[in-house]
Amino acid sequence: MKKATKCVHAGGIPDKYSGGVNSPIFTSSASDYLDKEEAPYPRYFNISNQAAVAKKLASLESGEEGIVFSSGMAALTSSLLAFLKTGDHVVFQDEIYGGSHAFIEEHFDRIGIRYSFVGNDISDFEAAILPETKVIYIETPTNPLLTIVDIRRVAKLAAKHDCLTFIDGTFATPINQKPLDLGVDVVVHSGTKYFGGHSDLCSGAVITRKSLAEKIRKTAVCYGGSLNALDCYLLERSLKTLALRVEKQTRNALEIARFLDNITDIKQVYYPGLKTHPGHAIAKNQMTGFGAMLSFEIGNPNITATDYMKNLKLVKPAVSLGGVETTICDPASTSHVKVSAEVRQRMGISDGLLRLSVGIEDAEDIKQDLIDALVSPF
């Protein structure tokens, strides 16, 4: 099956009761355990609605198994800690989602797990590897600067040193990037973003091979970040239109990035689909589309980022991303607010940087709003 077909048909639960085309919702948190190896229990990650959506995601990522979580952070923390113990070392790309960065800085020292934050080049990762390194962790394209890391090269390097490669694939989704096919071991997603796609659901997911999934599930059962049956159903429903939405959003984003790139009052546009983007060639090689996120800075000193967001009429200032509606935020006070100003500067995130999550509206309307808002209050 092709991606769009998998979105609709992979996974799911047959409705044996009425023959309906949708998965039935099984809400029980108490089930008969007699004569069963393991009774269904939501926190055990083994209820039917979790399996229905996990199978769809595994199919989309071409992985053996998927596990769905109550948030992207639950997915990320449970799966990382499944493989790490005191004394281990991890190589993290520095330029990652602020919440992931904060988790590492706030918790790893206490547990005694060592870590190095490194730049985006393969040489940066190689130089940081120690005999105790167990995981190399990347995010590409990154939030919010859309930096591209060469996935194949990182995965090859990790394998050479007997390490696991983790990737946060939230920005690309399996519609635009298939990390497992490129050698990655574990793919993590914030399902709150494109998977949910309608800004009304918090969820996460991990897709990997069977042996690793078993280890992750065992840890996740203890941390307890499972998703309830009703939200699993909503997530499954949303995923049926994932290809449709992300393909349209990606087309819109390319058109808008090119448009913004030609406006005098816009200083810089960060989008891997632009030929001038430093990661363009690698992105072209490892992605099937450049994604629907872009960032930019306003070059007119009389228009602040906040003024600009207030001037917008159609595009909504909002935290989070990946919904059908176009939203905008300044990462310094949203996605990266938990990261110190010094680290933000090191990452290249200026206070005036604006991150645009492009929706499914008509691109002409979005462009018009983005240009109309470029008016100075003076």
Ligand X SMILES: Cc1ncc(COP(=O)(O)O)c(C=O)c1O
- Which residue from 315, 296, 292 is spatially nearest to 305, judged by alpha carbons? 296
- Which residue from 177, 95, 139, 119 is spatially nearest to 353, judged by alpha carbons? 95
Q: Are 112 and 87 in contact (CB under 8 A)?
A: yes
Query: Any contact of residue 97 with ligand X (CB under 6 A)?
Result: yes
Burial call 230-247: b when 16+ CB within 10 Å, e when fewer: ebbbbbbbbbbbbbebbb
Residue among 174, 179, 204, 289 that touches ligand X (CB under 6 A) = 204
Min CB(298)–ligand X separation in Å:
22
Q: Are 80 and 54 in contact (CB under 8 A)?
A: no
**Comparison of 168 and 247: residue with beta carbon closer to ligand X:** 168
* Alpha-helix runs per DSSP H in 122-188: 122-128, 151-160, 173-176
Min CB(139)–ligand X separation in Å:
6
Distance CA 228, CA 28 (A): 10
Residue among 49, 50, 147, 192 that touches ligand X (CB under 6 A) = 192
Query: Any contact of residue 231 with ligand X (CB under 6 A)?
Result: no
- Which residue from 100, 234, 251, 81 is spatially nearest to 169, judged by alpha carbons? 100
Min CB(334)–ligand X separation in Å:
9
Query: Any contact of residue 327 with ligand X (CB under 6 A)?
Result: no
Phi then psi for residue 115, to 5 deg, are -150, 155
Min CB(168)–ligand X separation in Å:
5
Which residue is nearest to ligand X, using beta carbons? 72
The position carrying tokens 């430093």 is: 278
**Strand ordering across the sheet containing 293-298:** 266-270, 293-298, 354-357, 327-329, 316-317
Min CB(101)–ligand X separation in Å:
10
Query: Any contact of residue 272 with ligand X (CB under 6 A)?
Result: no
Residue among 24, 40, 42, 99 that touches ligand X (CB under 6 A) = 99
Query: What is the identity of the amino acid at 238?
Result: S
Size of the site for ligand X (CB under 6 A): 16
Query: Any contact of residue 208 with ligand X (CB under 6 A)?
Result: no
Query: Any contact of residue 288 with ligand X (CB under 6 A)?
Result: no
Query: Any contact of residue 51 with ligand X (CB under 6 A)?
Result: no
Among the candidate windows 2-10, 92-100, 280-288, 354-362, which touches ligand X by CB under 6 A?
92-100
**Looking at the DSSP assignment, which residues form a beta bridge with residue 329?**
355
**Comparison of 165 and 192: residue with beta carbon closer to ligand X:** 192
What part of residues 147-186 is at the interface with ligand X (CB under 6 A)? Answer: 168, 170-171
The 61-90 site mask, x for binding ligand X (CB under 6 A), equals: ----------xxx-----------------
Q: Are 186 and 209 in contact (CB under 8 A)?
A: no
Min CB(77)–ligand X separation in Å:
9
Min CB(170)–ligand X separation in Å:
4
Query: What is the identity of the amino acid at 328?
Result: I
Distance CA 67, CA 187 (A): 11
For 226, which DSSP code?
Answer: B
Q: Are 83 and 218 in contact (CB under 8 A)?
A: no
The 120-149 site mask, x for binding ligand X (CB under 6 A), equals: -------------------x---x------
Query: Any contact of residue 196 with ligand X (CB under 6 A)?
Result: no
Task: Name the residues that contact ligand X, by CB under 6 A.
Answer: 71-73, 97, 99-100, 139, 143, 168, 170-171, 190, 192, 202, 204, 335
